[in-house]
Each structure stands twice: as structure tokens, then as C-alpha cells.
């Protein structure tokens, strides 16, 4: 699970295109939109077990060719968009590889059980004392 962005760079393909949005005339001339394509199955960064885990968890994010696709057009600079897309990729892979700890079952202590029962008893007595008494 220890990988760096430099490790990921070897298996990344970038496609660039013109981006919409803010930027004035720059938008019409410069290809700043970045599409990052990453092949999990061809990557040499992960073990076979990690690849299987990633492919299972990220199934909905893979395109028809089995590539993880991230599109970024947030900035006016192609370089910055590449950096943002790479950060997103690293974040997605890190989250997918994270396995939460197994929950250990625990029992309440005897003192906690006794205190709970004592509180129930006191509440019961309090409500019993509120009842109307009938004189027959």
C-alpha cells in the first residue's frame, strides 16, 4: 500500500483537450483540460491481491477498457490540472486500499450492568410513587 506519485506516473496516460469555462480567449486556444487514464491491471506498483481489491472496489469508476479515468479542468494551466488529477488518483487508490479494522465485540462490565439495573429500579420506584392510591 506504500506507493508514491512517481510510482504511479509510469502507468499513466494523459489526454489533453480544450477546456470550457473561465479563461477568456485562452480557453479557445490552449488545451488545458486533462484526462488521466490509469490501468490498474497493467500496473507494477500493486500486488495481485491489491489489484483484485482495487478492481472490485473501483468497478463503477472504470471505463469499458478497464482504465480508471479522471478528468480535471479546474485550473487554467495544463500543468496544474495534471497535478490535481494525479492527486485525485492517489486519493482514490489510497481510499480503495484502506481496510478498516475489525470490530472487537465487548461486554459491559459487571459494575455498569449493576448501575443500569439500579437506575431502572429507582425510576420504577419513582413512577410507582406517582400513582394514585385508591381507598376502598
* Tens-place pLDDT, residues 101-133: 999 999 999 999 999 999 999 999 999 888 877
* Structure-block grid coordinates of residue 9: 506516473
Looking at residue 2, what is its pLDDT? 72
- Flag whether pLDDT at 136 surpasses 80: no
Element at 101 (helix H, strand E): none
What is the pTM (predicted TM-score) of this model?
A: 0.70
How far is it, in rounded angstroms, from Cα 69 to Cα 6? 18
Looking at residue 4, what is its pLDDT? 78
Looking at residue 42, what is its pLDDT? 87
Tell me: the pLDDT tens digits for 23-51? 677 777 888 889 999 998 888 888 899 88
Tell me: the pLDDT tens digits for 11-20? 888 988 887 7
Burial 85-95 (b: 16+ CB within 10 A, else e): bbeebeebbee
How far is it, in rounded angstroms, from Cα 75 to Cα 87? 14
Q: Number of C-alpha atoms within 13 angstroms, CB side, residue 81?
A: 22
Domains of the chain (ranges; CATH) run 5-97 (3.30.160.20)
Main-chain phi, psi angles of 39, to 5 degrees: -95, 110
Which of the pair, 136 or 77, is modelled with greater confidence?
Answer: 77
Query: What single-letter DSSP state applies at residue 136?
Result: -
Tell me: the pLDDT tens digits for 72-106? 988 888 899 999 999 999 999 999 988 889 999 99
* Structure-block grid coordinates of residue 48: 495481485
Main-chain phi, psi angles of 89, to 5 degrees: -60, -50
Element at 17 (helix H, strand E): strand 12-17
Amino acid at each position: 500500500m506504500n506507493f508514491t506519485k512517481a510510482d504511479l506516473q509510469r502507468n499513466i496516460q494523459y489526454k489533453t483537450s480544450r477546456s470550457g469555462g473561465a479563461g477568456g480567449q485562452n480557453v479557445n486556444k490552449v488545451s488545458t483540460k486533462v484526462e488521466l487514464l490509469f490501468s490498474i491491471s497493467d500496473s507494477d506498483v500493486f500486488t495481485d491481491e491489491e489489484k483484485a481489491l482495487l478492481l472490485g472496489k473501483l468497478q463503477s469508476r472504470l471505463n469499458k477498457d478497464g482504465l480508471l479515468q479522471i478528468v480535471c479542468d479546474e485550473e487554467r494551466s495544463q500543468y496544474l490540472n495534471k497535478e490535481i488529477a494525479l492527486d485525485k488518483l492517489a486519493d482514490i487508490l489510497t481510499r480503495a486500499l484502506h481496510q478498516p479494522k475489525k470490530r472487537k465485540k465487548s461486554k459491559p462490565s459487571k459494575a455498569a450492568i449493576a448501575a443500569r439495573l439500579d437506575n431502572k429500579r429507582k425510576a420504577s420506584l419513582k413512577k410507582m410513587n406517582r400513582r394514585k392510591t385508591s381507598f376502598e
